[in-house]
């Protein structure tokens, strides 16, 4: 779940799930989505959020 990854870049106890498991209708697929929000920690940037969501693979 992305909750844990996003929490790494946010202030403690600010991450929450909004609109849990709704269906997003796209032209060729139905996708289930949840909105996860949090307050970014002062020592982090948007790039830290992206890095947490897309960890690099070690060979």
What is the residue range of 22's domain? 2-53
pTM (2 d.p.): 0.68
Give the residue, 42 or 1, on which the prediction is more confident.
42
Tally the domains of the chain: 1
| Cα distances (angstroms) measured from residue 34 to each of 12, 30, 43, 57, 58 | 20, 13, 26, 25, 29
12 located within any domain: yes
pLDDT at 1: 60
For residue 22, tell me if it sits in a domain.
Answer: yes
pLDDT of the residue at 59:
59
pLDDT of residue 38: 92
- Domain-embedded: residue 45: yes
For position 3, what pLDDT does the model report?
80
Give domain status of residue 59, yes or no.
Answer: no
58 in a structural domain: no
């Amino acid at each position: 779940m992305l909750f844990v990854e996003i929490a790494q870049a946010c202030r403690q106890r600010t991450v929450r799930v909004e609109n849990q498991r709704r269906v997003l209708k796209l032209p060729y697929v139905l996708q289930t989505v949840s909105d996860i929000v949090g307050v970014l920690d002062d020592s982090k940037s948007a790039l830290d959020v992206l890095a947490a969501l897309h960890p690099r693979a070690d060979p």
